[in-house]
């Protein structure tokens, strides 16, 4: 049921992106906003569902396999979309994207994060699959299983490694690049998922753990918003 749900989200988003391309070419701002929103919604919705499958046996093989598989799927179906505020900062820094367009895309990413959370909570309330049972009663299921300083350093390091790999992989053929990036993300999730969740995406972090941001806004914004963005700026400065 979970796989069917995530596959349905991917298909629906693909149809919405195609419809936007056909109908909104004359309105570039609205087109950019909707495409970025649809793409980020797909990643956030699927990752919300994947977060419930972390305890499926055999652990952690099932969760890691699904992480790799759906990361490849996202890479193949969401080409051209950043789906990450940190990724949107790069063209803004280099002058390839205007601040207005960059701000619009970041706004779309956070709107999608909220919509994905609301949508998944509605689906979970229907309790169509076993993992959905009791999912809404958990509240703030904190991914931070270490000190704030260690969590900050981990998310900063993972963001640097990920952004550096993305830049270095630009010269690789797209059909191989998507697998390299997916493998890297899977390795980072395996290495730090039990400590911070290995998210390094501010919009995705907010979609997954909004309740925790409400309860401990300063610490969570430091670890899951500031650390990834700082990692991105470090890479941009070095390059």
Whether the per-residue pLDDT at 211 is higher than 80: the answer is yes
Q: What is the CATH number of domain 2-238?
A: 1.20.1080.10
Other CB atoms within 10 Å distance of the CB of residue 111: 16
Within 10 A of 179 (CB to CB), how many other CB atoms are there?
A: 15
Mean of the pLDDT values across residues 141-149? 88
Q: Is the pLDDT of residue 154 over 90?
A: yes
SS3 content of the chain, % helix, strand, coil (to 5): 75, 0, 25
How far is Cα 115 from Cα 133, in angstroms, rounded to an integer? 21
**For the residues 17-33, what does the mean pLDDT come to?**
92
Give the model's pLDDT for residue 2: 87
* Mean pLDDT score of the chain: 91
pLDDT at 4 over 80: yes
Closest CA to 165 of 71, 95, 92, 65: 71
Q: Maximum CA pair distance of the chain?
A: 50
Q: In the predicted model, is pLDDT for residue 27 greater than 80?
A: yes
Is the pLDDT confidence value at 204 over 90? yes
Q: Hey, where are the domains in the chain?
A: 2-238
Task: State residue 133's pLDDT score.
Answer: 81
Q: Give the residue, 127 or 9, on which the prediction is more confident.
A: 9
Residue 127 has pLDDT above 90, yes or no: no
For 175-198, what is the mean pLDDT?
93
CA distance 228 to 234: 10
Per-residue pLDDT, 141:
76
Whether residue 97 has pLDDT greater than 80:
yes
CB 103 within 8 Å of CB 32? no
Q: In the predicted model, is pLDDT for residue 215 greater than 80?
A: yes
Residue with the bigger pLDDT between 155 and 143: it is 155
- Whether the per-residue pLDDT at 105 is higher than 80: the answer is yes
pLDDT digits (tens, 9 = 90+) for 52-86: 887 777 788 888 999 999 999 999 999 889 999 99
């Amino acid at each position: 049921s979970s796989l069917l749900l995530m596959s349905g989200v991917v298909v629906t988003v693909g149809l919405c992106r195609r419809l936007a391309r056909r109908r909104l070419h004359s309105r570039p701002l609205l087109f950019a906003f909707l495409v970025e929103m649809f793409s980020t919604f797909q990643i956030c919705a699927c990752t919300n569902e994947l977060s419930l499958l972390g305890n499926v046996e055999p652990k952690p093989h099932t969760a890691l396999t699904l992480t790799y598989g759906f990361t490849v799927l996202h890479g193949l179906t969401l080409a051209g979309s950043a789906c990450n505020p940190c990724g949107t900062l790069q063209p803004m820094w280099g002058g390839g994207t205007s601040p207005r367009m960059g701000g619009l895309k970041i706004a779309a990413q956070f709107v999608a994060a909220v919509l994905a959370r609301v949508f998944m909570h509605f689906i979970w309330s229907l309790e169509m699959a076993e993992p959905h049972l009791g999912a809404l009663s958990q509240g703030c299921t904190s991914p931070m299983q270490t000190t704030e300083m260690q969590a900050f350093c981990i998310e900063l390091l993972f963001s640097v490694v990920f952004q550096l790999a993305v830049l270095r992989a630009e010269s690789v053929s797209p059909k191989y690049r998507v697998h390299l990036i997916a493998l890297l993300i899977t390795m980072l999730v395996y290495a730090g998922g039990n400590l911070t969740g290995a998210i390094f995406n501010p919009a995705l972090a907010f979609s997954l753990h909004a309740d925790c941001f409400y309860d401990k806004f300063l610490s969570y914004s430091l670890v899951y918003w500031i650390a990834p963005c700082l990692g991105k700026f470090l890479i941009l400065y070095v390059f």
